[in-house]
Amino acid sequence: MNLLLVAMLFFTGPQDADTHALLRLEDDWARALVKRDTVVFERLLAAGFVYTEDDKTMDRATVLHEVGSGSDTVTAAHNEDMQVHRFGATALVTGWLIVQGRSNGSFDRRYRFTDTWVKRRGRWQIVGAQDYLVLGHSGES
């Protein structure tokens, strides 16, 4: 019985550390949106990163440009109901991204997201992200 408990702790320990790291990285993303912190995004986004939002797709360079000097001014952003789905050195994180700000008026947007992370050389980086703006919750004015 004790051996089984030790084995369970051994196998869930690294997963828990990775889960916490991924959730922290997702929160870093939300904070970096508000600060227009391209340094954080350069660290998070893997080479070859692909972003899909509704009907458009962007590469890493375009995302970095939009974060740094896009037309939206994000005043607040946070994540809700995040779940980590592990597949070895790959993980999907699903959740809600809530973003408030200004762009031709104020907005309050709610996105359903799925982010794909890969752990390389001991470091998690995001290789793909998909956000879907939930209609009826956009709060555009």
The C-alpha torsion from 36 through 38 and 40 to 44, rounded to 10°, is 120
> Rounded to whole angstroms, how far apart are CA atoms 128 and 49?
5
Q: Which CATH number fits the domain that encloses residue 114?
A: 3.10.450.50
Encoded amino acid at 47, one letter:
A
Answer whether residue 138 is part of any domain: no
Q: Residue 58 is which amino acid?
A: M
What is the tens place of the pLDDT at every residue in 14-65?
558 999 999 999 999 999 999 999 999 999 999 999 999 999 999 999 999 9
- In a domain, residue 123? The reply is yes
- Structure pTM? 0.84
Looking at residue 21, its amino acid is A
Q: Is residue 91 part of a domain?
A: yes
pLDDT in tens, 14-27: 558 999 999 999 99
Task: Count the domains in the chain.
Answer: 1
98 pLDDT more than 50 = yes
Q: Which domain holds residue 70?
A: 2-133
94 CB-side CA count, 13 A: 3
